[in-house]
Amino acid sequence: MSWDVLPGETPIDDISGLKIKDIRTRKELAYVEAENIRKAVVKYFASKPNHRTAPFDLSWSLKLHEEMFGDVWDWAGIPRQTDLNLGVPWHQVEIALKNVFDDLDYWKENWADVLEQAVHLHHKTVQVHPFLNGNGRWARMLANIWLRLHDVPVTVWPEETIGSVSKIRDEYLNAIKIADNGQYKNLYDLHQRFSEII
């Protein structure tokens, strides 16, 4: 299995962790990952999550990644043990994630705008990039579960944000890069544009 790496994508250099051995194309991989992610969507959005089912801590966040990708990859939910082209050094992943959830507690107490909290959660977890792959989809899911938990419309990202080159993907990646410099308006506006009540 090989394909060109899209801009902003973490390359998959090692497919030994792939549980489904007959996958040969990006399209086949995207399909089985999407099927796995649907299970997590049903779990967290068929009914409203609560602080027991979604406690927003390190342990649960790792479990969420496993729920999203565990049918496809044997390393799902396991913090990476190598440095990537993105993210913090691998040995800082768990403490960086814990810091994000500590920050989230602060944002919840001090920022009235739940969407702003979710946008920062989304960006900060993408910045950590804790897994070998699936980081963006996992970060967007975290943000949406946070929104749903607080009765705020979730962000329904267009399919074009993953898997292929597109105008919306470019806009999304640009908003992430701008947020890297502390400017969140573009990412906030994208979340708002694609908000939808479940």
What is the tens place of the pLDDT at every residue in 70-103?
Answer: 999 999 999 999 999 899 999 999 999 999 999 9
This prediction's pTM: 0.92
In eight-state DSSP terms, residue 159 is G
From CA 192, how far away is CA 194, in angstroms rounded? 5
**Ordered structural domains, the chain, with CATH:** 26-196 (1.10.3290.10)
In the three-class reduction of DSSP (H, G, I as helix; E, B as strand; rest coil), residue 30 is classed as helix
* Tokens, residue 181: 């410099």
Question: In which band, very low, low, confident or very high, does the pLDDT at 9 lie, cut at 50, 70 and 90?
Answer: low
Q: Are 137 and 162 in contact, with CB atoms under 8 Å apart?
A: yes
From CA 168, how far away is CA 151, in angstroms rounded? 26
